[in-house]
């Protein structure tokens, strides 16, 4: 995933669940299986350009077949021979629609020389698992498979089918993206009431667990091109009507333009929860933001880049081009403006707001490509309750908080396809120790096993939960 995170430090917005005694980890044999699968996945190179997800899908398939899953319930297929996905269905009673358990098996490239160890070996050292994909996203992939095998061993009968999909090219995207490919070609394999995915994890500070974040919403991405054409001419005979001047003026006006500040269901719940962790003026401001006060939103947005990005759609220039010779008047000047859009805002709304801000008919403002708009997932009470309850059982005192993130995951594609998606892992990371996409990616050994147990309990509970919305 790509997730500039919203830090969450909060009290549950969904009521206090009663702490109960629960296992914080699964029995040793189950842990050993999860670790084995994790190791196997990590040691398969599945980088976007140099690797393949197919061997990961095949490894999972072999595990499932060995555990007695019928071949007819398993699909290995995809957009290209090196970009295969695995989909497996575990049958429930069928009383309710399935739950989709998603994880991507591709990883960001890792160069041996950038790391202090081999990135494609699972190395356990000083209480950490090291390796590319230890956090993003092979832990969740391994846990889904290990837990499914365990449910089968127990003869567990959920009220609904559980579908695990391990998919290709979340990091690279494009035509090989496994989720897009499945939605388009085999919707029936993955069709579900909702999906659980990466994108939300536990946050700790100096080893102390603070919150278990539930990602329910993502901003979506839209690139806009500003383009000015001009007849040009010799630079020795300049005129005021210059493409670069037009573009510079347009960008200056965009720098002064701000989209309106507002909250939505998710961010209002987020600010309400955050208020409980603050004191003084900030506490009051966050409470007022949650209640819809514009004045408070202005103060909060001004004080924090994160909160500003939470409260509004943002657009910022990222690339420039123009001119064709040192001694010629430019015939073209262009800029790319990158927008991160709130789920409820639309393409034409954003484009026309920029056009208006530019206020120059010489500057064409066009949308690049077709942005993929994913709506927010609803804050469903059955899901919120289950997550809150299992979180409190597993880690008494740790609160569940709904978040919207600025980055993106495959959840966007599923949400756009009408499958609400919730980012939830139960793997805890220290806030200052996120190595995803970087060198020496790692996860605490204890976090892996706790997440393993958390997801085991959570999926069981959800598979029996009564829908309340």
Alpha carbons 417 and 197: distance in angstroms, whole number? 15
User: Which DSSP symbol is given to 6?
Assistant: P
| Per-residue mark of binding to Zn ion, 185-214 (x: CB under 5 A) | -------------x----------------
Shortest approach of Zn ion to residue 374 CB, angstroms? 16
Q: Nearest to residue 20, comparing CAs of 321, 392, 275?
A: 392
Residues 322-351 that bind Zn ion (CB under 5 A): none
Six-digit token string for 32:
């050993």
Applying CB under 5 A, among 61, 136, 193, 450 the residue interacting with Zn ion is 136
- Cα-based torsion angle of the residue sequence 380, 382, 383, 389 in order, rounded to the nearest 10 degrees: 130
- In the bound state with Zn ion, the residue whose beta carbon lies nearer, of 269 and 404, is 404
- In the bound state with Zn ion, the residue whose beta carbon lies nearer, of 1 and 387, is 1
User: Which DSSP symbol is given to 196?
Assistant: E
Q: 408 by DSSP, 3-state: which?
A: strand
Output b/e per residue, 154-171; b: 16+ Cβ within 10 A: eebebebbbbbbbbbbbb
Binding-site size for Zn ion (CB under 5 A) equals 4
Shortest approach of Zn ion to residue 270 CB, angstroms? 21
Helix axes 381-394, 445-462, angle to 10 degrees: 140
Q: 443 by DSSP, 3-state: which?
A: strand
Residues 1-40 that bind Zn ion (CB under 5 A): 1
179: contact with Zn ion by CB under 5 A: no
Q: Is the dihedral of CA 367, 369, 374, 375 positive or negative?
A: positive
Shortest approach of Zn ion to residue 425 CB, angstroms? 10
Shortest approach of Zn ion to residue 218 CB, angstroms? 12
Span of 22-30, 134-142, 241-249, 389-397 interacting with Zn ion by CB under 5 A: 134-142
Alpha carbons 453 and 172: distance in angstroms, whole number? 30
Shortest approach of Zn ion to residue 140 CB, angstroms? 9
- In the bound state with Zn ion, the residue whose beta carbon lies nearer, of 1 and 290, is 1
Shortest approach of Zn ion to residue 157 CB, angstroms? 31
Alpha carbons 110 and 156: distance in angstroms, whole number? 39
- In the bound state with Zn ion, the residue whose beta carbon lies nearer, of 198 and 441, is 198
- In the bound state with Zn ion, the residue whose beta carbon lies nearer, of 139 and 192, is 139
CA 39 to chain centre: 23
137: contact with Zn ion by CB under 5 A: yes
Shortest approach of Zn ion to residue 319 CB, angstroms? 25
Phi, psi of 326 (to 5 degrees): -65, -30
Shortest approach of Zn ion to residue 136 CB, angstroms? 4
Output b/e per residue, 81-97; b: 16+ Cβ within 10 A: eebbbbbbbbebeeebe
Q: Which residue is nearest to Zn ion (CB)?
A: 1
Six-digit token string for 289:
């933001």
106: contact with Zn ion by CB under 5 A: no
- In the bound state with Zn ion, the residue whose beta carbon lies nearer, of 137 and 227, is 137
| Per-residue mark of binding to Zn ion, 400-439 (x: CB under 5 A) | ----------------------------------------
Binding residues for Zn ion (CB under 5 A): 1, 136-137, 198
């Amino acid at each position: 995933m790509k997730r500039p995170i919203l830090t969450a430090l909060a009290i549950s917005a969904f009521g206090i669940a009663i702490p109960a005694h629960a296992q914080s980890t699964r029995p040793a044999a189950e842990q050993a299986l999860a670790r084995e699968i994790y190791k196997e996945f990590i040691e398969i190179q599945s980088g976007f350009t140099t690797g393949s997800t197919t061997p990961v899908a095949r490894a999972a398939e072999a595990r499932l077949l060995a555990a007695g899953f019928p071949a007819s319930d398993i699909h290995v297929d995809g957009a290209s021979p090196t970009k295969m996905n695995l989909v497996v269905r575990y049958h429930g009673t069928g009383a309710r629609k399935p739950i989709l358990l998603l994880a991507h098996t591709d990883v960001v490239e890792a160069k041996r020389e950038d790391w202090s160890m081999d990135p494609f070996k699972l190395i356990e050292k000083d209480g950490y698992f090291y390796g590319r994909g230890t956090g993003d996203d092979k832990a969740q992939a391994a846990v889904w498979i290990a837990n499914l095998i365990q449910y089968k061993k127990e003869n567990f009968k959920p009220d609904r089918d559980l579908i695990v999909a391990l998919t290709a090219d979340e990091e690279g995207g494009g035509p090989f993206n496994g989720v897009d490919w499945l939605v388009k070609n085999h919707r029936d394999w993955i069709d579900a009431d909702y999906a659980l995915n990466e994108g939300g994890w536990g946050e700790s500070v100096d080893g102390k667990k603070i919150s278990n974040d539930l990602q329910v919403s993502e901003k979506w991405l839209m690139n806009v091109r500003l383009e000015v054409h001009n007849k040009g001419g010799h630079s020795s005979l300049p005129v005021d009507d210059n493409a670069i001047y037009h573009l510079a003026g347009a960008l200056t006006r965009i720098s002064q333009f701000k989209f309106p500040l507002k909250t939505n269901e998710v961010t209002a719940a987020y600010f309400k929860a955050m208020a409980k962790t603050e004191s003084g003026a900030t506490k009051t401001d966050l409470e007022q933001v949650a209640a819809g006060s514009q004045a408070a939103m202005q103060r909060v947005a001004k004080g924090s880049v994160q909160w500003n990005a939470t409260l509004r759609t943002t657009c910022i220039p990222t690339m420039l081009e123009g001119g064709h010779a040192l001694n010629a008047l430019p015939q073209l000047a262009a800029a790319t403006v990158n927008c991160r859009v709130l789920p409820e805002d639309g393409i034409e709304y954003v484009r026309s707001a920029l056009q208006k801000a530019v206020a120059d008919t010489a500057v064409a403002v066009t949308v690049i490509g077709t942005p993929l708009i994913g709506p927010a997932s609803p804050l469903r009470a059955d899901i919120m309750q289950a997550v809150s309850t299992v979180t409190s059982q597993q880690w008494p005192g740790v609160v569940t908080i709904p978040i919207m993130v600025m980055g993106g995951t495959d959840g966007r594609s599923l949400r756009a396809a009408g499958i609400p998606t919730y980012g939830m892992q139960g793997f805890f990371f220290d806030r200052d120790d996120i190595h995803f996409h970087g060198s020496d990616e790692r996860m605490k050994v204890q976090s892996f096993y706790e997440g393993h147990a958390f997801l085991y309990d959570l999926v069981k509970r959800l598979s029996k939960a009564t829908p309340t919305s």
